[in-house]
Structure 1
Amino acid sequence: MKNLFYKGRFIFIPIAAAAFISAISFVVMQLWNHLLPDILHVATITFWQAMGIFILCKILFGFGHKGGRGWGGRGGAPWMRAKMEERFKTMTPEQKEKFKQKMRDRANCGPWGRHEHPFNRDWDQFDTEAPKATQE
């Protein structure tokens, strides 16, 4: 019985994938044909054009990430977060502070290097500026 399941999945998985893509293409076609001609004055599309649009969008915009968060999401990948938590537990307080400072600096720099922004100043120190001279 187990061997029959393994042989059957090689037939079932491609059929299920084709059915899924067909269903999504039908939904794309229906949405396009019922919304866009009235809104943007474009022509209606066929099923195969809808499938092409769907596949093109997947190629251009990606296939999504597990959990919808991706690398840039809060916390990153769960395995990476667990690894960092374990590493953070073994650090000394000095190492923790150094790590936190490095992460703060990285967040302020961006990927292209350190650059000062006018709003990065310490606004509590405004009294150190010289008073402006008034003209009489």
Structure 2
Amino acid sequence: MEFKSEKIGDIIIVHVYLTRATLAKAVSFKDFVTELIKQGNVKFIIDLSICEYIDSTFLGAMVSLLKKVNTMNGDLRLVYAKETPDLVFVLTRMDKVFKIFQTLQEAIDSFAPPKPKLTWK
């Protein structure tokens, strides 16, 4: 199994079990996530933590999915556990488009509403 999903609250986590996320798997990945969107889910975390390489076609599939969930007032965030963003993210400036986190827990926490600040008068 190359893709697996789990639900935590209203967040869908899609685990990508590929070391190389390329053209060969981009269509099946997009179809997998599209089915989850059709079920009414709009908050996604794509866990790419075991991916060593992501090509532009797979990245394009993620951009397409991001646009789709954004139109539904949702969001798609990435877990990419590399010290520096992959060259494909930097060259395409997608590191500015996607919210990228080092750990799955950080990505989950990012969906939490901000805590109110106490102010004293």
TM-score, normalised to structure 1's length? Answer: 0.20
Name the structure where strand makes up a greater proportion of residues: 2
TM-score, normalised to structure 2's length? Answer: 0.21
Name the structure where helix makes up a greater proportion of residues: 1
Q: Which has the higher contact order (CA 8 A, sep 6+)?
A: 2
